[in-house]
């Protein structure tokens, strides 16, 4: 009798069949959308690499542009981008992280801190071209840094700052409040608590947030073209320290724009190769961020 009753229990009624059909449909729709995201990426990367193939070699990275930028390599732009990214993050990461620690760990909920919060959110939403104009006015003219690496880097720093603050706060907030209370209960100050418990357990999230801004700083064209990046700058091939901070420099994003639209007769594979290098730079940085995150997360302790 029992087995008969069990048999009845598992019979597929029309309602059950409809439910299963919907389940299968839902799963395939979601899966298809997820796959649809991968397709364009593969197409873009594949197309770029194929078109760039004739120029992709080490020589292309280290060589300077030749014959009115129609031939040669991209070294001045590559090293310029590295300069800009490093200096801008050297400015925005410490300020952003320390500000986020204040906002998340010390600040009380009063009007002053609400104003700061509002400013951070709005600054993150400002279009990059507006940052560019601000940088032009503030650093190039008002601060008299001129069109220079320092102006362009500071503009990028302003642009990345709010995102670093937001991601750092997120990372800090993910540390359970009970850890802080346990520390306070034994007479630790806020700083002792932050130093020994909060930071060690949020550092992976904080660094990930910072590193992701590298790709943003490397890719943006608008903020740097008004403040310190030029069409062409003559430097030595493979020179690691070609620029002074008060000089103008080249950058990959700007260089790509220039050789694609402004210079006639560029060898066809060069713009594609430049794009591949820019993309590879960003992918490499992101991969580094992910592996760093995995490594630090594995050492995280709860």
Is residue 111 within the footprint of other proteins (CB under 8 A)? no
**First and final C-alpha spacing in the chain:** 51
- Closer residue to other proteins (CB): 233 or 293: 293
Asked if 221 and 246 touch (Cβ cutoff 8 Å), the reply is no
Q: Which stretch binds other proteins (CB under 8 A): 29-37, 154-162, 188-196, 244-252?
A: 188-196
Span from 24-32, 79-87, 191-199, 228-236 in contact with other proteins (CB under 8 A): 191-199
Which two tokens mark 158?
Answer: 């302003």
174 near other proteins, judged by CB under 8 A: no
The radius of gyration of the chain's CA atoms, rounded to the nearest angstrom, is: 26
**Element of type H or E holding 85:** helix 75-101
Q: Are 233 and 147 in contact (CB under 8 A)?
A: no
Q: How far apart are CA 258 and CA 65, in angstroms?
A: 12
Q: If binding is defined by CB under 8 A, does position 7 make contact with other proteins?
A: no
Name the minimum Å distance from CB 139 to other proteins: 38
For residue 220, which of 190, 274, 256 has the smallest C-alpha distance? 256
Q: Which of 22, 122, 174, 189 binds other proteins (CB under 8 A)?
A: 189
Task: Specify the residue, 106 or 244, whose C-beta has the smaller distance to other proteins.
Answer: 106
Taking a C-beta distance cutoff of 8 angstroms, is the pair 70, 82 a contact? Answer: no
DSSP reduced 3-state for 227: coil
Q: What 3-state DSSP class applies to 71?
A: strand
- Smallest gap from Cβ 169 to other proteins, in A, equals 17
Q: Which of 47, 102, 184, 244 binds other proteins (CB under 8 A)?
A: 184
Does 204 participate in binding other proteins (rule CB under 8 A)? no
Stretch near other proteins under the rule CB under 8 A, chosen from 189-197, 237-245, 267-275, 277-285: 189-197
Residues that bind other proteins (CB under 8 A): 108-109, 178-179, 181-189, 192, 196-197, 200-201, 300-302
């Amino acid at each position: 009798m029992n087995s008969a009753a069990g048999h009845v229990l598992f019979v597929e009624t029309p309602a059950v069949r409809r439910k299963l059909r919907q389940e299968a449909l839902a799963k395939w729709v979601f899966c298809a959308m997820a796959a649809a995201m991968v397709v364009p990426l593969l197409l873009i990367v594949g197309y770029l690499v194929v078109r760039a193939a004739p120029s992709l070699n080490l020589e292309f990275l280290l060589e300077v542009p030749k014959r009115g930028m129609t031939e040669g390599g991209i070294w001045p732009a590559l090293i310029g981008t590295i300069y800009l990214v490093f200096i801008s993050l050297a400015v925005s990461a410490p300020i952003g992280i320390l500000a986020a620690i204040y906002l998340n760990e010390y600040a009380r909920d009063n009007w002053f801190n609400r104003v700061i919060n509002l400013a951070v959110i709005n600054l993150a939403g400002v279009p990059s071209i507006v940052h560019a104009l601000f940088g032009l006015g503030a650093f190039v003219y008002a601060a008299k840094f001129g069109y220079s690496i320092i102006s362009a880097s500071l503009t990028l720093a302003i642009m990345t700052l709010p995102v670093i603050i937001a991601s750092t706060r997120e990372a800090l907030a993910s540390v359970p409040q009970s850890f802080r209370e346990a520390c306070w209960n034994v007479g630790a100050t806020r700083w002792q608590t932050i130093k020994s418990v909060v930071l060690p357990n949020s550092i992976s999230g904080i660094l990930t947030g910072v590193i992701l801004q590298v790709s943003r700083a490397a890719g943006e064209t608008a903020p740097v073209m008004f403040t310190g990046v030029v069409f062409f700058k003559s430097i030595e091939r493979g020179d690691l320290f070609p620029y002074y901070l008060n000089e103008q420099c080249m950058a990959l994003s700007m260089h790509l724009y220039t050789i694609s639209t402004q210079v006639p007769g560029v060898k066809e594979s060069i713009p594609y190769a430049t794009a591949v290098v820019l993309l590879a730079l960003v992918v490499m940085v992101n991969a580094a961020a992910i592996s760093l995150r995995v490594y630090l997360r594995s050492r995280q302790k709860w």
